[in-house]
Structure formats: C-alpha cells, structure tokens
Amino acid sequence: MPVGEALLGRLIDVTGAPGDQGAPFPTDVPRRPIHRNPPPLSSKGDTTRIFATGIKVIDLLTPLAQGGKAAMFGGAGVGKTVLVMELIHAMVERYQGISVFAGVGERCREGHEMLTDMRGSGVLPRTVLVYGQMNEPPGARWRVPLTALTVAEYFRDERHQNVLLLMDNVFRFVQAGAEVSGLLGRLPSRVGYQPTLATEVAGLQERIVSVGEVSVTAIEAVYVPADDFTDPAVTAIAAHVDSMVVLSRSMAAEGMYPAIDPIASSSVLLDPLVVGDEHAQIAIEVRRAVEHYRELQDVISLLGVEELGADDRRIVGRARRLQRFLTQPFTVTEAFTGVPGRSVPIADTLAGCKAILAGECDAWQESSLYMIGALDEARERESKLSKDAPAQTPTPAPAAVSATP
C-alpha cells in the first residue's frame, strides 16, 4: 500500500486508495506491506517520557507515555470519540507531529464529520485518515488498523518523526476478526470470539513501539459491550496498554466531562520515579478523597450530608470540588457548547488539586470549579459571585411564646 507525505491530509481505505474524491497518488509513491514483524527488542526506545495532553484528569491520574499505548474504555455514549478528537488537537498544537487516525467499522457520517472538522480546524494537513466503514467486508475492517500502523511506521522509521496513532474502535477490529474466523469455519472460543483473539491483538499491539528517539504513541478507543469489563476482548486489549482511561456512565450522567473514573483508571507511569514525589502523592490523596466520598454516598442519599461527622463532611466537600475541578471544556466541543476549550499545564493541575486538598476552596461554591482551566479561573469566578451577591440582612428571631396553663 502507498505510504509517505503524499498521504498527509488525505482519507484512504484499507488498500491505500483515496476515499476523499481527491486526486490519485503519484505512481512513484513509496509502498509497504501491511503485515510486518515488530522491531527487535534491542532497538526499542524509552517509554517513560510523559505525553502531556493538557487534559487535567489524564495528566494527573493516568499519565500517558510517549511511545506507549493508552486505551479509553467505555460503553456507548460516554465520550470516547470526543476524547480522541481532543487528543489529536493536543498532538498537533503541542508536538507538531504527525497524526494517523484509524476508523475501524465507522459510520460514513462519522467519517464525513471528522474530515470536515479537521479541515475547519487546520489539523488535516498533518493527519492521515484511514477508514474501513461498517458496510465493508469484515476482512477490510479487520485490516484497517494494520494499514494505519504501516503508515505510522513509515513516518517513524524513514522520516524520524513522532507519530500519534489513534484507533476508533479497537473492539470493532476484534469483531471483524470474529466474523472472518466464522467464515473460515473455525471453532469459536469464549463468548463467541475467535480462538486466535489473543494472537491477533498481540500482533497489532506489539508493533506500536518507540525506536530510538522517535515514537509511535497509540491512543485507542475501546467499546465495552454492556459495560462488562470482564469481556474477553476488553481483557485481551487491556493486557497490552500502559494507561487505562476508564470512562464512567454515572459520571457522564452527572455532566462530569470528561467522564473519566479516577478510581478505575490507572497508569504504569504514575510512579514517583517517573512523575516525581509531589505528583504521585497528590494523585494518591485525590483518589483517597473521591473513594471516601463514594463510600459515603449511600449514607448521604438516605440521611443527608448533615448526619455525617465533621471530618467526613469536610472530605466530602473537598472530593466534590475535586471532581468539578477535574472537568474541562474541550476545543472540539466549543462549537456545540459555546465555551472555549482549555489546555492546562501539569503544574497548574497539581497546584489546583493541592489547594483544594489543603482546604483553600472549602468556602467556595462548587459551581465556581466546574468546567474551568486552572484554579485562577475559579478564583475569578468566586470573587465575581461574591461581588454580585446581594447583601443579606439577618432575619430577626421570632419572639418566644409563653405557654399558658
């Protein structure tokens, strides 16, 4: 299939043929096979460099590795695709690298929307879109991630450029493999998946590595069927990733976007030797506060916050403020919400969480911390609210009524 600079800004199918009604590729364009062996272990580079995204909850609790693999796990409608789109913006604006997007089993509407949005935002000239639509044969959908990975490997190996590889949705890659397996007459394994599930997932994931100083960083959206995280496809994919970003349906229902579960999400990079002692300690304290709040939610729903002890009320208040501080407006949703997107440095995220944990925001309204960037923005909101609030005069206590015999 064709690879190289001629593909930048274009949409192609599994064979490398243009799918955007553009001009055909030159005859002298480089070509590579989509089935290749992973690089030898001796050539693999370091994967302990942090890939800063500007998204507070990810950078704080599930830091991504440059040259590593991260997966966004979640059911339908919790924000996986929006999160992937925002990370494309982060890569283009922060790192000036190449982005390769693999749409596995995508609807034609989704592909058209992404192509139009990228043209409007100016990120398309440094992006390659590879699509295998839902109506295509399972063999085509099964090989779309391999086509996208081949394009990414060319820019890594030949042009020595860092590449962000995004795949939406890896679960459909597994589904297509199950369809192919059924057509070949193979005996299905657990839950009807193909018997070669682990081999096929490993064959894709093991090619996503850093080589020397250049890297392919993979961010994968993974649909979780019926929100069942014990599904064989989900567990097979999770075994290969460095960072697990779990999206919660309950948080999405509360409007806490991005709806990332701070307890269920994890990263191998959240280690004091990698992120530093302060970062690791703040992340532990944030998780501890949120987990304590969740343990008390049943009591709160039955009896109310007033029935808690003073220490528990203080922890609950800080946990709720932390949850709202970790929400964030995205650039890709600005056209729908009217709220400009925010990109927050890791230092500002740590400073904000540290201040909330220390009690500096205990008297603030929770709404001041919702959908903001750094804590300074909440401080401005709070000062404005205090100025706009009308002066309240104390209501005199009613006179005591004496009881008559």
Amino acid at 73: F
Give, for 92, the enclosing helix (H) or strand (E). helix 80-95
- Is residue 5 part of the annotated active site? The answer reads no
Q: Which of 32, 86, 106, 172 is catalytic?
A: 106
In order of 185, 290, 360, 375, the CA distances from 285 in angstroms are 52, 9, 15, 18
DSSP type of residue 258: S
d(CA 311, CA 357): 13
The secondary structure element, H or E, covering residue 102 is strand 98-106
Which one of the listed residues 31, 36, 94, 107 is annotated catalytic? 107
CA distance 73 to 245: 6
Q: How far is the C-alpha of 14 from the C-alpha of 258, rounded, in Å? A: 31
Give the whole-angstrom CA distance, residue 44 versus residue 35: 19
Number of residues that make up the chain:
405
Which among 10, 32, 80, 156 is annotated as catalytic? 80
**Three-state DSSP state, 230:** coil
Backbone φ and ψ for 180, nearest 5 degrees, come out as -65, -40
Cα–Cα distance measured from residue 310 to residue 317, given in angstroms and rounded to the nearest whole number: 11
- Write out the H or E segment, with its range, that includes residue 289: helix 277-303
Parallel, antiparallel, or unpaired for β 64-65 and 50-51? antiparallel
Cβ neighbours of residue 213 closer than 8 Å, sequence gap 6 or more: 45, 160
Active site residues: 80, 106-107
